[in-house]
């Protein structure tokens, strides 16, 4: 059966005594991981979790995260990914809107005070929560803030000492994983994937990326709370090869882990690769890695790829998104460097199809013509959770996903990602809606209206820049507005600068007055570059 539990059963049958995960240099076999997941299922079932129920996971990378996801699949429940970099406003919004009654968290991780963040939340925003499960690796915490004082407080390491769960309520069409993604409104959308889409994609990536046939380990540093990291570890599990799992990224530790565990498969963000190049003294810091799958988020990406190539790191362009999962497509290895690093490539699933459509005429376009990318395949999401209108809007009549990405086809059947068609920003490696930041600015008493654009700063990263129109008589204080954003949003979303305007630049069209965001971007670049 095409379920995540069936995938794990197959791997246990064929690789039960083989290493599935290496964590803190300790191996965990497939049989042991399966036992952990069954015990996690018992923990959740004893708390009343059943088919369709949502369990929020506010955890960094650790075996417990994997076990809980697999346990949810066994129960037919849905694991809700909560980014460890989110603030109280974002966390409470996710928990309340999906209706999660259980949240698992690691209060002592990297000295991030998760409980203090929860203390900042409005109690009514977390009223749906009934149970807090505290995970720890030696940093046990008992104090609970007022916002979740009504919840039962349980400790994961105590609960997991229970019998394994024997039943299996997995179903190919049952939802099992929710990722958050930005839209054009204040609230992010919830991308729900089924067990069928997760398990199919895991198998396809394991084969299509060569994980199943490579002799060595996969290094997992991408956060499991994101679709990039989750798609990667599921493919690693489906490959039969070990996955080295780490809770955080450190460039020197990455090089040492890669050498110690014969890492041959590794995907990473461009800033991770740059950090490895900048900090490792070795001529070839990752000598056994076959290639590094990455995406061109930095403006100096070609220069970075050339530096990496000179030191034995072969970078290859990828494509993916929450709605279709990460690692959806991969560029051919034999292309010249400048062609190979472009985002996009050939879909790894033979059944997947891609096409490009002119957004104005609606006509399908041929090779070399830029338009909106539409894609299909076995890794497509089930729906936007609790949002049928957005789900219907996102798909064409014949089942293709409208990606909102500008792309073009190539003569050999690949596609090239060019840029986002809309105004969604990629900040800190995550797609972020400007509307989410704009609404935070407008929430401040002094702000009547706001616009947010992205600019590339001197270090090559993309940062948000805000423009505000103040209420009559209000004073402008940039530091106060930035602090307001920092207190309610993840740090990477907070504008690097905020500027006051009397009015926004606009243009008249047949459809009415439109704000000239391109003019705002130019203005932001001039002002930010003038002071950096």
- CATH number, domain containing residue 36: 3.40.50.980
The CATH code of the domain that includes 445 is 3.30.300.30
Q: Do 488 and 365 have their domain in common? A: no
| Whether 357 and 479 share a structural domain | no
For residues 40 and 139, membership in a common domain is answered with yes
pLDDT tens profile 477-508: 999 999 999 999 999 999 999 999 999 998 75
Q: How many helices (H) and strands (E) does the chain have?
A: 16, 28
Which of 363, 396, 420 terminates a domain? The answer is 420
Question: What is the SS3 assignment for 466-481?
Answer: EEEEECCCCCCCHHHH
Does residue 511 register a pLDDT over 90?
no
Domain boundary pick from 420, 435, 470: 420
**Residues 416-442: what's their mean pLDDT?**
81
Which positions ≥6 away from 487 have C-beta within 8 Å? 87, 120
Give me the CATH number covering residue 396: 3.40.50.12780
Residue 172 resides in a domain: yes
Does residue 461 share a domain with residue 408?
Answer: no
Stretch (H or E) spanning 349: none
Overall average pLDDT of the 227-254 stretch:
96
Q: Which of 199-213, 261-275, 444-458, 506-520 shows the highest mean pLDDT?
A: 199-213
Decide if 206 is inside a domain. no
Same-domain status, 177 and 289: no
Residue 160 within a domain: yes
182 Cβ partners below 8 Å, 6+ apart? Answer: 188, 189, 424, 431, 432, 433, 436
Domain match, 106 and 74 both: yes
Last-in-domain residue among 152, 178, 193: 193
> Is residue 209 one of the residues assigned to a domain?
no
Instruction: Tell me the mean pLDDT in the region 459-477.
Output: 93
Report the run of H or E that residue 28 belongs to, with start and end: strand 26-29
Going 376 to 378 to 380 to 385, the CA torsion angle's sign is positive
CB-count exposure of residue 532 (10 Å: 0-12, 13-18, 19+): exposed
Beta bridge partners of 514: 507
Task: Tell me the average pLDDT across 387-405.
Answer: 95
Neighbours of 508 (CB within 10 A): 8
Whether 395 and 456 map to the same domain: the answer is: no
In terms of domains, do 378 and 512 share one? no
Q: Report the alpha-carbon distance of residue 86 to residue 104 in Å, rounded.
A: 15
Share of the chain above pLDDT 90, in %: 77
What lies within 8 Å, CB to CB, of 64 at 6+ separation is: 36, 40, 104, 135, 156, 160
**Tally of CB atoms within 10 A around 408:** 19
E strands of 410-475, at which residues?
415-420, 425-427, 430-432, 447-456, 462-470
Which of these, 98, 116, 100, lies nearest to 108 by C-alpha position?
116
Q: How many domains in the chain?
A: 3
In a domain? residue 208: no
Assess whether pLDDT exceeds 60 at residue 286.
Answer: yes
pTM for the full model?
0.85
pLDDT mean over 23-29: 97
Q: Among 83-87, 113-117, 131-135, 435-439, which stretch is predicted with the lowest mean pLDDT?
A: 113-117
Of the CA atoms within 13 Å of residue 133, those in its CB half-sphere come to 24
Residue 258 falls inside a structural domain: yes
Segment 266-283 shows an average pLDDT of 94
Return the structure tokens found at 88: 């109280």
Examine the domain organization and report whether 63 and 179 are in the same domain: yes
Give Cα separations from 366 to 186, 315, 354, 417 (angstroms). 36, 28, 12, 15
Binned at pLDDT 50, 70 and 90, residue 156 comes out as very high
Handedness of CA 512, 451, 444, 487 (dihedral sign): positive
Query: How far, in Å, CA of 233 to CA of 243, rounded?
Result: 7
Closest residue by Cα to residue 222 from 81, 48, 89: 81
In a domain, 175, yes or no: yes
Residues 432 and 413 reside in one and the same domain: no
Handedness of CA 301, 342, 244, 84 (dihedral sign): positive
For the segment 322-341, the average pLDDT, to the nearest whole number, is 96
Which residues form the domain of 310?
A: 249-420
| φ/ψ bin of 385: left (φ > 0), alpha (ψ from -120 to 50), beta (otherwise) | beta
> Is 205 part of a structural domain of the chain?
no
**520 and 507: one domain?**
yes
Considering the domain architecture, whether residues 271 and 293 belong to the same structural domain is answered as yes
Mean pLDDT of 420-430: 76
pLDDT of 184 above 50: no
């Amino acid at each position: 059966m095409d379920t995540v539990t069936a995938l794990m059963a197959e791997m246990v049958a064929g690789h039960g005594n083989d290493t599935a995960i290496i964590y803190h240099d300790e191996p965990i076999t497939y049989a042991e991981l399966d036992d952990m997941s069954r015990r996690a299922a018992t923990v959740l079932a004893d708390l009343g979790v059943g088919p369709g129920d949502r369990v929020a996971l506010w955890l960094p990378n650790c075996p417990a995260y994997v076990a809980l996801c697999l346990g949810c699949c066994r129960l037919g429940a849905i694991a809700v990914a909560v980014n460890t970099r989110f603030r109280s406003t974002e966390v409470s919004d996710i928990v309340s809107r999906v209706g999660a009654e259980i949240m698992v968290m690691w209060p002592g991780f990297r000295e991030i005070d998760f409980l203090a963040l929860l203390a900042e939340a409005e109690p009514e925003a977390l009223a749906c929560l009934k149970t807090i499960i505290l995970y720890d690796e030696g940093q046990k915490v008992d104090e609970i803030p007022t916002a979740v004082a009504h919840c039962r407080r349980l400790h994961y390491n105590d609960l997991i000492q229970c019998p394994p769960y024997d039943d299996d309520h997995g179903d190919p069409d049952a939802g099992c994983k929710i990722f958050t993604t930005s839209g054009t409104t204040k609230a992010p959308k919830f991308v729900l994937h089924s067990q069928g889409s997760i398990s199919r994609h895991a198998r396809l990536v394991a084969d299509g990326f060569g994980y199943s046939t490579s002799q060595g380990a996969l290094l997992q540093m991408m956060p499991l709370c994101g679709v990039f990291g989750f798609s990667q570890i599921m493919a690693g599990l489906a490959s039969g090869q070990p996955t080295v799992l780490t809770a955080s990224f450190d460039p020197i530790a990455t090089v040492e882990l890669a050498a110690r565990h014969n890492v041959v498969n590794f995907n990473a963000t461009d800033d991770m690769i740059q950090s490895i190049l900048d900090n490792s003294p070795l001529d070839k810091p990752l000598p056994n890695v076959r290639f590094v799958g990455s995406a061109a988020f930095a403006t100096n990406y070609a220069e970075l790829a050339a530096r990496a190539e000179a030191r034995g790191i072969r970078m290859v362009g990828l494509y993916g998104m929450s709605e279709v999962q990460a690692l959806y497509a991969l560029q051919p290895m034999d292309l010249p460097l400048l062609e190979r690093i472009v985002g996009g490539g050939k879909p790894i699933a033979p059944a997947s199809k891609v096409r490009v459509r002119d957004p104005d005429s609606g006509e399908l376009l041929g090779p070399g013509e830029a338009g909106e990318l539409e894609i299909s395949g076995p890794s497509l999401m089930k729906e936007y959770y609790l949002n049928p209108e957005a789900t219907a809007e996102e798909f064409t009549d014949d089942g293709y996903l409208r990606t909102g990405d500008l792309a073009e086809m190539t003569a050999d059947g690949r596609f090239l990602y060019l840029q986002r068609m809309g105004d969604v920003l990629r900040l800190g490696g995550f797609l972020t809606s400007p509307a989410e930041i704009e609404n935070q600015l407008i929430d401040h008493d002094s702000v009547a209206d706001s616009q947010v654009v992205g600019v590339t700063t001197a270090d090559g990263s993309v940062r948000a820049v805000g423009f505000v129109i103040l209420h009559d008589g209000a004073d402008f204080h940039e530091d106060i507005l930035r602090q307001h954003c920092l207190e309610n949003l993840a740090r990477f979303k907070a504008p690097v600068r905020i500027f006051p305007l009397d009015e926004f630049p606009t243009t008249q069209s047949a459809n009415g007055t439109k704000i000239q965001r391109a003019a705002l971007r130019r203005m932001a670049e001039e002002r930010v570059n003038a002071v950096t």
